[in-house]
């Protein structure tokens, strides 16, 4: 292993050091266990990254278990530190929902936020306690609602259509020994009308959003729910968006939501839970400077405690739903470099064997990433290149201006911070097979997602008999 001082002299400032180890995982570019080893290779979780590519192929998602668990513990411990009441950290699994990830966060004592029947099914198959599962979404189907009721998870109600549908639903899942079904446990989602600086596609708290009840509807909503014994409204929920660095909007949100908790109680609703969503950002490049998990939790807890004291209200069960800030920095994606195209005086394209099918965020959100060459980590960055994907789209650009050493076909390019919304938004565009994922820990690598095969691609295809060529 190269020493810390040698790493600094080589310009490896993106690697964790004894100083940066005090930061929370969302503030790091690479996973906590990342080092440069004696071969000048990037090593994560005790595993040599170029060797992982040789063993498992590329593109390859590499998830560091220690970083993911550390993020879970940072959140849990911060709530215990700053909040005198009951609290629950809920992983927003849309960031990356698969059996292994669900099992890890559940083993750390977190609940799970799901937004579809598929995510709910995966969570249950991973052994997550349904009482700790919260089912979100702005257009849940009848089948999904029934599935949620039968499993006993909490439904976060988003709109009038869903509220009226649930009020009419016979909750068969609660029936025991011929007794009537139990009331359906719900939270009400509110569109708080608080704006924050993030991409418009992932901004959800402002008034012009598809999510949640508008503030001017709430009295009518509370009155409706109070008259429906089939509905047990236990709390309120709001979420402002994703990849947020500001703290003040979260303070404003906490205060506003507590006032609506008080109003809901006036209608006789047994509201005891307050879910303030998630949205804390991560560091994708050196220019990013997100607050720490500890700082984010502290300002929210202090805001809720202050409002409760001012209004003489009991402390609610306080919940948060981090996703990206738990898993984003815990994963990297390793690619193999292929072709080069030099346009003199304009641009050099370096192509990798993946792109928008394994990471659609750059083409969707114009997201910016940081990359390194994992097989020559300390080599000086001498080139500015555009890292292009292999898909038939001019917009399939992974990184527009990447600072890299001289690259060659066969080099291993690693893109940092790919744990959130990469695998979960992956596709088979151009009929590329979806990438494999490995979980690394203490020198051991375990496959948690198999690489798809060509046979997998046509598994659900159907060819009508009349189109089959007769021999």
Give the number of C-alpha atoms closer than 13 A to the C-alpha of residue 468, restricted to the C-beta side.
Answer: 6
Specify whether the CB–CB gap between 58 and 324 falls below 8 A. Answer: no
List residues with catalytic annotation: 392
Q: Which residue has the tokens 């440069």?
A: 36
**CA 411 to the chain's CA centroid:** 29
Question: What secondary structure letter does DSSP report for 267?
Answer: T
DSSP H helices, 227-268, are 248-266
The whole-angstrom separation of Cα 2 and Cα 8 is: 10
HSE-up (13 A, CA, CB side) for residue 340: 12
Residue 202 CB neighbours (<10 A): 17
Count other Cβ atoms within 10 Å, centred on residue 403.
14
C-alpha closest to that of 132 among 196, 85, 88 = 88
Residue in 243, 246, 295 with CA at minimum distance from that of residue 417: 243
CA atoms within 13 A on the CB side of 256: 19
Query: How many alpha carbons fall within 13 Å on the CB side of residue 301?
Result: 21
Question: Taking the CA of residue 287 as centre, how many other CA atoms within 13 Å lie in the half-sphere pointing to its CB?
Answer: 3
Q: How far apart are CA 1 and CA 33, in angstroms?
A: 12
Contact 142, 103 (CB under 8 A): no
Q: Which of 282, 283, 286, 281 is nearest to 13 (CA)?
A: 286
Return d(Cα 112, Cα 278) in angstroms, integer: 12
Half-sphere exposure of 122 (CA within 13 A, CB side): 21
Peptide bond into 59 cis (omega under 30): yes
């Amino acid at each position: 292993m190269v020493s810390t001082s040698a790493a600094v002299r080589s310009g490896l400032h993106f690697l964790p050091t004894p100083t940066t180890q005090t930061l929370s995982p969302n503030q790091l570019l690479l996973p906590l266990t990342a080092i440069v080893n004696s071969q000048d290779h990037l090593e994560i979780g005790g595993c040599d990254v170029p060797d992982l590519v040789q063993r498992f192929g590329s593109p390859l998602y590499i998830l560091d278990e220690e970083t993911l668990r550390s993020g879970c513990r940072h959140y849990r411990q911060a709530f215990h530190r700053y909040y005198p009441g009951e609290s629950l950290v809920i992983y927003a699994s849309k960031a990356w929902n698969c059996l292994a990830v669900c099992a890890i966060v559940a083993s750390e004592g977190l609940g799970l936020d799901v937004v579809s029947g598929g995510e709910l099914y995966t969570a249950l198959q991973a052994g997550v306690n349904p009482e700790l599962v919260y089912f979100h979404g702005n257009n849940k189907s009848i089948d999904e609602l029934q599935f949620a009721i039968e499993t006993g998870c909490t439904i976060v109600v988003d709109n009038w259509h869903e509220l009226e549908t649930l009020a009419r639903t016979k909750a068969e899942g609660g029936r025991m020994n011929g007794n009537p079904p139990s009331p359906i446990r719900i939270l009400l989602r509110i569109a708080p009308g608080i704006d924050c600086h993030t991409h418009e596609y992932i901004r959800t708290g402002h008034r012009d959003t598809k999510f949640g009840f508008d503030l001017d509807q709430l009295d009518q909503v509370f009155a409706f729910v109070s008259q429906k014994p089939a509905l047990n409204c236990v709390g309120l929920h709001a979420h402002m968006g994703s990849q947020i660095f500001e703290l003040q909007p979260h303070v404003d949100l906490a205060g506003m939501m507590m006032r609506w908790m008080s109003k809901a109680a006036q209608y006789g609703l047994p509201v005891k839970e307050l879910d303030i969503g998630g949205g804390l950002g991560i560091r994708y490049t050196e220019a990013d400077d997100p607050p720490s998990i500890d700082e984010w939790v502290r300002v929210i807890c202090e805001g809720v405690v202050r409002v409760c004291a001012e209004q003489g209200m009991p402390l609610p069960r306080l919940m948060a739903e981090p996703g990206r800030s738990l898993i984003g920095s815990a994963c990297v994606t390793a690619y193999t470099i292929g072709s080069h195209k030099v346009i003199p005086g304009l641009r050099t394209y370096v192509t990798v064997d993946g792109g928008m099918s394994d990471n659609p965020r750059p083409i969707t959100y114009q997201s910016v990433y940081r990359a390194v060459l994992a097989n020559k980590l300390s080599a000086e960055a001498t080139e500015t290149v555009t890292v292009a994907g292999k898909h038939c789209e001019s917009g399939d650009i992974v990184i527009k201006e990447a600072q890299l050493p001289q690259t060659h076909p066969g080099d291993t390019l690693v893109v940092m911070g790919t744990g959130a919304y990469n695998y979960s938004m992956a596709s088979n565009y151009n009929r590329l097979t979806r990438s494999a994922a490995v979980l690394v820990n203490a020198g051991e690598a375990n496959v948690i997602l198999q690489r798809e095969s060509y046979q997998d691609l046509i598994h659900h295809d159907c060819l009508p008999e009349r189109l089959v060529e007769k021999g």
